[in-house]
Amino acid sequence: LDYQQRVRIAALMEGQDVTVIGIIQSIGSFETKNQRHTILRIVIADETGRATLQWFLGQKHQQQILNQYRSRY
């Protein structure tokens, strides 16, 4: 973690390479219509706002990554 580049969620701007520290509010996933991909969605928040993060997972890695996040949170 680069604490010198830490930014509050409300101050995030597109294209920045920063560290955000917050609380995970929710973790969810769903499959796309063709069931070839899973979308993993994580919502984090700090005292200034919240951000939704999404990862698009292909079949090869989706179950491994989903299990990792579910077991940790």
| pTM higher than 0.75 | no
- Closest to 66 in 3D by CA, of 56, 22, 44: 56
Residue 62, pLDDT score:
60
Measured CA to CA, the distance from residue 22 to residue 47 in angstroms comes to: 8
> What does the pLDDT look like over 42-67, one tens digit per residue?
999 999 999 999 988 776 666 676 67
Order of strands across the sheet that contains 49-58: 23-31, 37-46, 49-58
What is the widest separation between alpha-carbon atoms in the chain?
42
> What does the pLDDT look like over 20-39, one tens digit per residue?
999 999 988 888 887 777 88
Q: If you ran DSSP here, which 8-state letter would residue 34 be given? A: T
